[in-house]
Amino acid sequence: MIRPLNTPIADWSGKRVWLVGASSGIGAALALRLLASGAHVVLSARRAEQLQVIAAGYPHARCVAFDVTDSQAWPLALHQTLEHLGGIDLVVMGAARYDPTHSWEIDLAQVEKSFDLNVVSMYRGLSVIVPQLLTQGSGGIAMIASISAYTGLPRALIYGATKAALNNLAQTLYFELAPRGLAVYLINPGFVKTPMTAVNDFEMPGLMTPEQAAQAIMTGFEKGRFEIRFPRGFANVLRWIARVPDRLRFALLHRLTKM
């Protein structure tokens, strides 16, 4: 049997999880699933009131509201999280924005905001999280990217590029941190019914609910996968298309997207 790339999580009871980007969508659904499974969870996002709503009724939930684009806020947020949990077994980083954009519609302000939130904020977090986990000698980091990272797609001019950066980043993290005893997870969702995808005016293949996405993520953690991609059928097809010769790939994508 092939050994999983990360140690499978067999039991969530008492696991200490910091979930960044927990106020809506996949993050909120994952927070509820973790809490229902017995994990001790610190919920983070900018919107404190929404975090409180999610945490209500769970004595092992705590809220640390902060802005991930503020470099100075990360050390304090980590300190507060450690005060609540005592240590960290898993950090899930999922704060993101989505600005559907064609090549002829580039708005530099949107580009800068997307890269700052989707990519640079990950580095802000990693700069304080990685030293903490290395000091502990254990723990894991999960980053929510997207299957749009696999290949160029219509209107994903900004979003797809940010998520491609995270795919590369996660691979480097795993290469360097796994030998030091840390787990690294790359989460690549397809289309999930969230406020972000509500702006799409096209049919979204394999559209999932946030609850289905959360279950897929939990299954990936429990099986010790490095890349957790879903829905499996659509994600695997897109991954295959990304690997075929360029001439065939572009022809297939034009046919599939009708562009």
Q: What is the pLDDT of residues 203-226, one digit of tens each?
A: 767 788 999 999 999 999 999 999
* pLDDT at residue 158 is higher than 90: yes
pLDDT classification of 202: cutoffs 50, 70, 90: low
Pick one of 2.40.10.10, 3.40.50.720, 3.40.1280.10, 1.10.4160.10 as the CATH number of 16-257: 3.40.50.720
Q: Is 47 helix (H, G, I), strand (E, B) or coil?
A: coil
Domains in the chain: boundaries: 16-257
In the 3-class helix/strand/coil scheme, how is 132-186 assigned residue by residue?
A: HHHHHCCCEEEEECCHHHCCCCCCECCHHHHHHHHHHHHHHHHHHHHHHCCEEEE
Taking residues 119-148, report their average pLDDT: 97
pLDDT band (50, 70, 90) for residue 198: low
Active site residues: 159
State the pLDDT at residue 207.
Answer: 83
Neighbours of 78 (CB within 10 A): 21
Mean pLDDT of the chain: 94
Q: pTM for the whole thing?
A: 0.94
Closest by Cα among 150, 139, 218 to 184:
139
Q: Is the pLDDT of residue 195 over 90?
A: no
